[in-house]
Amino acid sequence: MTSRKHDVANAVEPAKKSSISPADPCTIVIFGASGDLSRRKLVPALYGLAAQNCLARRFAIIGFARTPMTDEAFQQSAVDSVKKFADASTANEGQCKEFAHALAYVAGEYHHPEAFEKLKSRLEELDRAHKLNGNRLFYLATPPEVYPLIIEQLHKAGLAKHPNGKSWVRIVIEKPYGRDLASAQKLNQIVVKSFDEPQVYRIDHYLGKDTVQNLLVLRFGNGIFEPLWNRNYVDHVQITAAETLGVEQRAAFYETAGATRDMIQSHVLQLTSLVAMEPPAAFDATAVRNEKIKILQSIRPFTEESIKSDIVRGQYGPGSTPGNTSLLTGYRKEPGVKPNSTTETYVAAKVQIDNWRWAGVPFYVRTGKRLPNRVTEIAIQFRRAPHLVFRGQNLSTNTLALNIQPDEGISISFHAKLPGQEMKLKTVTMDFSYQKEFGGGERSAYATLINDCMRGDATLFDRADGVEAAWALVNPILESFEAHKPRFPNYAAGTWGPHEADKLLERDDRHWRKP
């Protein structure tokens, strides 16, 4: 990569005003830069930050992977990624090319020390050329099994901490963070041998979505919701993370993970802790994460008996989606899946939080593949009115729903009188849409979180004790699943999961929402 005298990032004119704060000058190193995550998410997110003037005036990006590639080839790959995956409102030919000039590439094996010495030399070269003050962000976008290797090699190469003590060095670690409690604890031990805990950013991209963050604003920034946010007014909470897609090309990963590891341990428990947490003393990383972990520690541990009664797992078979009569392949027929696989593609659970605020209020959570709609939603179902004044009217309960994806927004349902002389009531909904209210394309959760990391804000990232607390809850479930082989498949593609999941709520005289 040739040295450029002017500021590379400054040449990318902001396409639109952004509320994201700019970061310090730094070099971003993407491990696994030739992979799908880098191509589809990270490079477009970094381009979006540059286009919105949210990167520093001076920055550099280094891709590191096993695949041999020149700087020019990596730059062209980045341009192609931006054109295909970036927000259309920010992408144009000139900006893409200017952004690409900030990119360099280092090829090497993750177990070769000489590859990390080469990386070190390239970092020092770019630091001098662009006056980046020695600030470095390492992003692990590789398969999880090489995380320990990369961390140890960074330590051996002297890259885990900057020798001058003034510059910052941070590392972003993608999920899955371990595959059970023991492996997560082992990875934490490896990490803290090389990095201090404040340097470590364990990322969950769900937490970068505007609606997830707005959940905290909704509760703690308004006076009308928090007084109702407790067992006196809330009947139950439903959290749904549904996908219409099947396993696609991820069979090799998914066969060793399943829905419990892939979604429940991370995304779903993160959302649960945000819904249920107490008001933090301040909106900073320490206070928010302290309150979140209190919730994880308050969730009633699962026993063998409660796993049988309160958890349902499923695996999709052949079926069709609404509006599409073509037959969809069952999970066991997907490429790379074992013909007798017992990997779950669906999990529903009844979660109890044993604290003063939520005692007796069940949290029903579910996640699955090949469901009718792609939607992630948090639904707060309020209690019925204590006295039914309008007899004969079939009134549903009031619901506050936060739609996290695909259409970010908030809606609240209540009852209103229909026009006319008779007292007839109807449930109506008030909707808030991010797209309609604020305009612009969908904000990249990765862009938000990468920017937070570069600014040193760990509020939306997981801490070591939080990861271990989540695995401690999930571990008994995984052990039970391993010990008891189910009869799969037990739900058809295009349906809302196995019938047992409906019974999970019906026995409590409740029903799943159909988002």
| Those residues with Cβ within 8 angstroms of residue 106's Cβ, 6 or more apart along the chain or in another chain | 62, 63, 64, 115, 118, 119, 122
Closest by Cα among 229, 173, 165 to 197: 173
Q: Which residue has the tokens 């010495």?
A: 117
What are the b/e assignments for 54-72, b being 16+ CB within 10 Å? bbbebbbbbbbbbeebebe
Residues in the chain: 515
Write the single-letter amino acid at 263.
M
Distances (CA, A) of 281 to 278, 325, 353, 415: 9, 53, 21, 36
**Bridge partners, residue 200, by sequence:** 171
Question: What is the largest distance, in Å, between two alpha-carbon atoms of the chain?
Answer: 84
Q: How many helices (H) and strands (E) does the chain have?
A: 16, 18
Distances (CA, A) of 465 to 38, 138, 189: 28, 22, 12
Pairing of strands 103-107, 136-140: unpaired
Tell me the CB-side half-sphere exposure of residue 332, using CA atoms within 13 A. Answer: 14
Among 267, 387, 499, 511, which one carries the catalytic annotation? 267
3-state secondary structure 412-445: EEEEEECCCCCCCEEEEEEEEEHHHHHCCCCCCH
What are the b/e assignments for 141-177, b being 16+ CB within 10 Å? bbebebbbebbbbbbebebbbbeeeebbbbbbbbbbb
Separation of alpha carbons 474 and 482, rounded Å:
13
267 is catalytic: yes
Write the DSSP symbol of residue 10: G
Reduced to 3 states (helix: H, G, I; strand: E, B; else coil), residue 5 is coil
Cβ atoms of 131 and 24 closer than 8 Å: no
Count of CB atoms situated within 10 Å of the CB of 325: 7
Closest by Cα among 15, 156, 25 to 98: 15
Q: Which residues are catalytic?
A: 267
